[in-house]
Each structure stands twice: as structure tokens, then as C-alpha cells.
Structure 1
Amino acid sequence: MSADNSTVLGVVVFARHGDRQGFYQDPQTYTASATVITPLGEQQEFQLGSLLRSQYLNASSSTYIQGIANADTLFQSNQVIVRADAGGEGGVIFDSAVALTQGLWPVTPKANTQLANGTTITSPLNGYQYVPIESVEPDQDVSLEGFTSCITFDTHTAAFYNSTAFQEKQAEVAQFLTDLKPYMDNRPVTLQNMWNIFDYMNVQSIHNATFANALPAGYLEQAHDLANWHEYNVFSDTSATGIGNIAFRTMLPSVLTAMQRIANASDPLKLHYSAIAYKPFLSLFNMTGVNADGALPPTIVNYAAGVILEVRQPADSSEPVLRFTFKNGTDDASFLRYPMSFPGWSGPADQDVPMSTFISAFEPAAVNITLDWCHVCGQTQARECGALLGASSNVQLAAHHDRISPVGAGFLGAGLTVAVFAMVLAVLLFLGLLSFGRGKRQGAQKPQKKEHVDLPSSTNSISKESA
């Protein structure tokens, strides 16, 4: 049965950035150039944040998060984690996170302090609330952009371009691509470059009246459909552990950990928000099967689109459940619920997924630490893989000693374990590849490089914890 009588314990939020200026990404490696957010994009994100505030911070809402600081109180940092991809699009995604959090926690006169002399000082801008945002640098943390510099993913992309399906589609749309050339300002008009073609058309249609008026009716929609087909085939796979899903697989450890923390009554975390590009959405849709019945098509999500995984507590059950909701930017007035369907779960469309079922299904697909990513992606140099693989190799060599007698093994076993563990720590600390404690949390205005932090690994137990 549906868990409509359940209460919301917390939410895991994924949101795409807002409207931005145009940019280019390599269709083979998806390495992207920098761009900037526009005032329209900032407004889109602010409005999305305001909607989240009305749904989850409003004490009178049916989806109010139990125990979170409500709309009448100040932001509480121990209840919230905000992370933003600081990769190839420059500051667009980080700036989107700033705008969204402004909508979630807007200015308030309560953001003040009283001095010893009796003077009351209010925060700038009439009570601006400064929400810490973690700037996730891809060269140091693979969690939000695991698809770049990934050799096996590049191989997967090349295989798609060489596939029969791609060649057939290319022949099918050849005339349309020829017809597009006069509007593309000398850009390569090929099916392989389809995302860049659509992005250029989309940006120009929003910001360039001359282009928008000259483009024939239906061209933008047809380019969008082709870009959707192109990108979904690149950022999906036939199995959850497939390399095509790498964009979300690297996000899974932080997502699963956040769910378990939210379900833990002794943990204060209530809201975990990741600001990302469109690619992880496609892998997420593929892995969760929300587009299996066609109700949610495999599409490049619009600017300021969002997915919310609600962690709920049913009234008649001790186990938390998950509910998937999605809002495709301004195309949707509100978040709509979609049923998940994946190996290990095929419940009724109106039934929420037990959290233990979700974790059991997706934990094997998670890429937990950078060293795992190096192996999965066949990478030996980028993102410190050379040093990580070298350190791992040294540890393995240290474990292979000459055989000793059973008596000697009895005396040395425990000591060898301690020695090898100490060697691992020493090598990693010396190379600067291991840090203790949480990663840096940055202020909302100044994204900075953060120290190398491997992804957290989740546990099997459930405690009462356009791009």
C-alpha cells in the first residue's frame, strides 16, 4: 500500500544549474569549457529553493520535514549538507547552489546579534543567511563528476558512436542536419556533436531574438529530441554497474550515507543537496527505472530541474521508505511522483521503496573511493591515480612474504597486521592522499579548492539514522 500517511524524515535533493551562457563540451571526453550563470538562471534557482522551502520547511505542509528548523527560524548548519560540482562549467553550478539556498533560507531580520553595549547588528542585505557550500573539485573528489578523465567511459562513448544504432540514426537525420547548417554559425553539424548543436540553439533561442525569429518552427524541438537520444545512450547502461552509469555511481556513496543519516533519529541531518549538471540525472533515471513505463521520458533535464528522494517513516512500519519525485524546471508547476523499478524491486506504482531494498540494490554499484574510481575507469595518471595505485601496490607487495612455519605465523600474525596497516597510513599520509575528518565546507560566496577527500562508504545496516 502507499505510504501516504507517512511522515518525511528528510530529503536528498539533486538540482541542475540554472540558465547560463553557451559553452562547448567535447563529444568524446565531455571535457567542458567555462561559462557563467545569467540573472534568469539565478531567478530559476531562487524560485526552486523557494518551492522547496514551502514544501519541506513549512510546518503546516504535509511534506514538512520532521524536526528541521522551520521557515520561521534561522538556518541550522548541522541539519544541512550542500555540495556543488565545481568542474568544467566554471562557477555556474556553484552560483546556482547559492541562488537556490537563498530561496530556501531567505533574508530575515532574525539574522542578528546584540552587542554588549546594547546595539543590535543585522547581517548584510537585511539579514542574509550565509549557507556553507562545499565546492567539489573534480581533480580532488570524483563524486560529482566521475565521468570526466574516465578512460573506460570514453571507450563506452566511442563504442556508441561506432554502433549500428548510431549509424542508422545518422542516416535517418542526415537531411535535418544539412538543413540546420545555415543557423549554426559554422559549428560542426554532426550527430556526434548533437548536444553542442542543441545547446547552441537553446541558448540563442532564449537570449537572441534575431536567432529565435529566424529559426524555422520545430527545429529546436527536433534537435532536443536528438540530443535526448544521444545523451541518454551515452549516460546509461544495461546494468547498474555498467560504466555508462558512472555519472551517478560516483554519487551513490554520499547519497546512501545521507539516507542512513537522515533515518537515524540521533543524527541531526535532515537535508542533503547536490548541485550538479544534467549527466547524473540520466544515469539516475536509468538505474532507478523511473522512465521504464514511459511516464518520465529519458530526457536532458531542463535548467533548475530537481529530483527529490524523500526519506519517509510509515505510520505502520518501523522501516523507512523512499519516494522519488521530479520537477523538470519551469515545465512542471510542482514535483511529481514517479515509481521506481529496478532489479530487486518491482512493487506497485503507488508503493514507496523500503530503504534497505534500495541500499541493497545500489550499494554494489557505488564507486566508494578515488582508488576504486581509478580501477573502474582504467585511469593511471589523472586525479592522483598514479600515486594511489602505487601506494596500493606497495601494500600488496608488503603482504607477500616468504612462507614461515605455523608456529612462527602464530607469533607474527598480529604484529604483521599492525605493521602493514601502519605502512598503509604512512605511505598515504606522506603522499598527502589521506586526510582525517570531513572535507572543507566553503562559504556561499567563495568556492575554493578543498583537500583531497575520498568518497564515504556506506554500510548495509539501517540505523535509526543545458550541462
Structure 2
Amino acid sequence: MATASKVIGVLVLSLFGDRIATYDDPTTYRMSSVNITTLGQTQEYRLGQLLWQTYFNHTSLSYLGDPSPISALVASGAVRFDADMGGQGHVIYDSAVALSQGMWPPVNIRDVPSITLANGSTIKSPLGGFRFTSINQIHPWDDVSLEGWLECPNFETAMQSFYSSSGFRQVEKDNEEFLSSLSYWVGNRSTSLSDIKNLYDYLSIRYIHDAAFSSVLPSGVLNKARQLASYHESGVYTSTDLNSTHNVPGRALLPKILNAIEGIANKSNPLKFYSMSLSHQPLMSLLSMMGVSESYANLTGLFSQAGSIALEVRTDNDGENPFIQFLLKNGTSDPHYSGYALFGGSPDISVSKFESMLQPFGLSTLSSWCGLCGTHITRGCGSTRASNNADLSSVAAGLMGAGATLFVALMLVTLCVMVGLLKVGEWGKRLGAVIVAPMQHSRKGSNVKSGGEQSENDDEVRLARKWEDDQGNASAG
């Protein structure tokens, strides 16, 4: 690789900052009402400051060479921010906001923009010159790429197979005494190894934010819980077999990563800085797929709060031979980014080799994700029968297609009523309710039920069963 080089762009993948939550589920401690804390905002803000100093400060050796205002950079396509809007609620989005503000904070008070109106009054920009940054909200029901494991039946099967494995059962047996001891600290709830990630989150949040709790929690309990949580998450979301369904978080995200790298390396493309704010699952999966976690024991397991990966795209000083330098900063304990080897080699790898190593395993179309997950129903997979080349962001289009189908069905029902072919009575009302009910869907983001799981309270299930019962009664009469 070239000894002298220059940075032409960077893709940054970062984890959300500290958050706090209520725990409504009495058995699993699954989070609800998740909110970023002031600590989390500060963590992300400081990460943003470091990124600005590294890539947008003209004195930096990695300066990207564009002093334009952030509004112009975003408008031109040179800078892009994406944020996952799924399982952590607004925490990831709020983390992205704090990160962007660390990069482009409010302007100097002397430079606050102002305008003078026709009547002579002067209006200054609010919030001390706050600079608004456009952040793309990626919703998991519109785009499967950032949360590829949701409503994926084959992934759930793989997870259950991991729980049933002899290795998992042995680890649970070896730590039976420790897991049982957690009951005192988590309200006497289930403390099986399969629950350990939720339990660790609970212990960690209380340890950080509850002084009375942190003063009495025995030394080593939190570290031990983190070790077991890391074992659990690694077993669920990673695999040394890159084709494995366990790697669906990374495989679903790969096309976005490869497209970003290709865009930065393309001289005609304006993209210079691309930030993705994510949950820990795709980060863990990607570190495994790139061979990083296998080479570095300290990077095996959970990513630390506000941790970040930087994939720098560099060229030689003549602007040729693009290659990637892999950098990582594991949370706030790391003061700066450090280089790590990829695929057991070096931190530097040519763009073409990086793509060839990973591209075969990326889920580049919605149909490929549906095929891996073994579903033709959830997250827009029904639409892939008509279009097998739809990309991973085509879920919304699939839903629109379903909506159009329902609209046509309703129009046909209306036409039949108008010409007298269908009688509108109680039966007609119920039929209409059954047709409309599926659109009244409460499943969003990480709160979705697994494919096939239904609740007696679901409107469409209740209405359909009532309609079936009424038809049975009518037939009997």
C-alpha cells in the first residue's frame, strides 16, 4: 500500500450514547420509554468534536479539504447523516443530532445570522446560531438494512438453535450460581442466560444513574454480567461463517456500506463524509465479518457507548489507487481512533479487495433478504414476487402496493353495491371491516411481533374471527 496518502472521504458507523429506560416487562426487562441522557448527549457531542477536528479542521492531516458551511455540504451531497429509528426509539436519532452538533456547533455569537425586515426591525437566528443538520431517519418498516434481524423467521430459528446448543447449555451451567445471585439485584425476575443482555442493561443503567445502587453492588458483578452478555450477543448476532443467518444484521447493512465506499472513491461523486448512527447488532456482526473481533480479543462482544468505526477512503498523492484504512474508537475510554487489521491482514486494504471480500455476502435486494429469512409476508416481502430486484429500502413501496390492492378491492365492493350485486347489511359492514382492518396495524420498529405471532387484541384477528363466527351461525340457521 502507498506510504504517502491522503484522505478523500470517510464512512463513520457509530453507536448511540448513554440512555435510560423504564422496564415494563416483568420477565425480560425489555426496555420501553427509552430516552437519551445528558451523559449520552455529551458522549456523542464529544465524538462529533473529534470527527470535526479530524476531517474538517484545515490543520488536520486528514482534512477533507472543504470549508463550506454545513448547509452547503449537505445540499451538495458531500455530507450525509443517517439514523436508525427502530428499537432504541429516538435515542439513536438524538445521538446523531448531538454528534452533528459536535461537528458544527452554534456559530460564534458575533456571527449569528440576522436579517433586517422592510419595517426596519432586525431578526437574529434563534438558539444562538444553532446550525440545523439534515438527518435521514431510517425506519425499519420502510427499510430493512439497519435492523435486518427483525421479523426474520430463519434468524429466530438460528437463535433458538444457539440456545439449544451444548456450548450454550454448558456456559449457563458453569455460571448457574452467578445467574441465580442476580435475582437479588433485578427484582427476583428470570435470570437465565438467554435474558442476560436485558439484565446487563438494567444493571448498567442503574449503576450509572443510581448512587445508592452503585454503592452496594458487589465488585465484579457488572463486569461478569457484561462478559456473559457479550457471549450471548456474539452467539446470536455473529458467526465466522459469513453466509450464516446469524450475520443478517451485517449482511443487510453491507450494500449501504459498499455503495458509500464506492461513492467516496468515485471522483465524480461529491460524497466526502457519511455518518450512520446504529444499534450494536450490526456493528458486532460487521466486526466479525471483517475478521476484526476474531483478531482482537478486546473487540469481541458488546460495543461501548458512543463507540465508532471509521472507514477512511484514501488514495496516493496523485489521487489514484484508492484503499481503505480501518479505524476504531471503542467508546469514551478511547481518546482517539486506532488502526486495526482487516481479514487477518493489515488496516489498509484496497477498495476493490474490500468489495470482493464482502460483496458476495451482502443482501443487496429485498428479495435476497426475504429468501434468507424464509418469509414472503413480513416487511414488504409480498411485493418481491412482482419485483425480485427491489432494493432493501423498497419495503415502503411494497406496502404502497398492498395499499393499492386494498383500494382496488374496496372500489370493486363499492361498484357491486351500486349495481345491486352485493347487499349492504350487517354482513357487508363486517366484510368491509375485515378488508380495512389489516391497514390498522400497530407493529412498528423493534416492537413488532415475530412473523405469525398474533394477539387476541389485534383488530384484524378479532374482526376476522367475529366475521367467521357470524358466518358459521348464519349457515347453521
Q: TM-score, normalised by structure 1?
A: 0.78
1:364: which partner in 2?
A: 360
CA contact (8 A) 2:16 2:92 kept: yes
Structure 1 segment 7-406 matched on structure 2, within 5 A: 7-22=6-21, 33-65=32-64, 67-69=65-67, 76-77=73-74, 78-109=77-108, 110=111, 112=113, 114=115, 121-294=123-296, 296-315=298-317, 318-341=320-343, 346-347=344-345, 349=346, 352-389=348-385, 391-392=386-387
What's the CA shift string for 1:378-426, capped at 9, x where partnerless? 122221222333x259x9xxxxxxxxxxxxxxxxxxxxxxxxxxxxxx9
> How much has 1:292 moved relative to structure 2?
2.6
CA distance in 2, matches of 1:216, 1:114: 59
Paired amino acid for 1:151:
P
CA contact (8 A) 2:327 2:337 kept: yes
CA distance in 1, matches of 2:231, 2:217: 22
Does the residue aligned with 1:84 lie in a helix, a strand or coil?
strand
Does the residue aligned with 1:96 lie in a helix, a strand or coil?
helix
Question: Greater helix share, 1 or 2?
Answer: 2
What's the CA shift string for 1:131-168, capped at 9, x where partnerless? 11111110111011111111111111101000010011
CA distance in 2, matches of 1:230, 1:277: 16
CA distance in 1, matches of 2:368, 2:262: 22
> How much has 1:317 moved relative to structure 2?
7.6
CA distance in 1, matches of 2:24, 2:240: 25
* Cα pair distance change 1:30/1:294, threshold 3 Å: farther
CA distance in 2, matches of 1:379, 1:85: 23
Does the residue aligned with 2:150 lie in a helix, a strand or coil?
coil
* Cα pair distance change 1:215/1:263, threshold 3 Å: same
Question: Whose RCO is larger (CA < 8 A, sep 6+)?
Answer: 1
> How much has 1:371 moved relative to structure 2?
2.5
Paired amino acid for 1:228:
S
Does the residue aligned with 1:291 lie in a helix, a strand or coil?
helix
* More divergent stretch after superposition (268-277 vs 107-116): 107-116
CA distance in 2, matches of 1:392, 1:239: 29
Equivalenced residue count is: 393
Paired amino acid for 2:350:
P
> How much has 1:108 moved relative to structure 2?
1.1
> How much has 1:239 moved relative to structure 2?
1.9
Report which of the two structures shows the higher radius of gyration computed on alpha carbons. 2
CA distance in 2, matches of 1:121, 1:260: 43
CA contact (8 A) 1:249 1:366 kept: yes
* More divergent stretch after superposition (240-249 vs 72-81): 72-81
What's the CA shift string for 1:174-201, capped at 9, x where partnerless? 0111222111113311111110111111
Paired amino acid for 1:105:
W
> How much has 1:329 moved relative to structure 2?
1.2
Paired amino acid for 2:375:
Q
CA distance in 1, matches of 2:139, 2:362: 19
CA distance in 2, matches of 1:248, 1:322: 18
CA distance in 2, matches of 1:328, 1:22: 23
Paired amino acid for 1:48:
L
Structure 2 unaligned runs (5+)? 390-396, 405-443, 446-477
Paired amino acid for 1:79:
A
> How much has 1:100 moved relative to structure 2?
0.6
Does the residue aligned with 1:193 lie in a helix, a strand or coil?
helix
* Cα pair distance change 1:291/1:115, threshold 3 Å: same
CA contact (8 A) 2:71 2:133 kept: no
* Cα pair distance change 1:259/1:25, threshold 3 Å: farther
* Cα pair distance change 1:98/1:4, threshold 3 Å: farther
CA RMSD of aligned residues (A): 2.9
> How much has 1:296 moved relative to structure 2?
3.9
> How much has 1:377 moved relative to structure 2?
0.9
Does the residue aligned with 2:214 lie in a helix, a strand or coil?
helix
Paired amino acid for 2:191:
V
* Cα pair distance change 1:232/1:428, threshold 3 Å: closer
Does the residue aligned with 1:251 lie in a helix, a strand or coil?
helix
Structure 1 unaligned runs (5+)? 396-425, 434-448, 451-467
* More divergent stretch after superposition (287-296 vs 147-156): 287-296
CA distance in 1, matches of 2:30, 2:356: 33
* More divergent stretch after superposition (107-116 vs 258-267): 107-116
* Cα pair distance change 1:296/1:290, threshold 3 Å: farther
CA contact (8 A) 2:12 2:308 kept: yes
> How much has 1:222 moved relative to structure 2?
0.7
Does the residue aligned with 2:127 lie in a helix, a strand or coil?
helix
* Cα pair distance change 1:370/1:167, threshold 3 Å: same
Does the residue aligned with 1:107 lie in a helix, a strand or coil?
coil
CA distance in 2, matches of 1:139, 1:40: 30
Paired amino acid for 2:231:
W
CA contact (8 A) 1:15 1:304 kept: yes
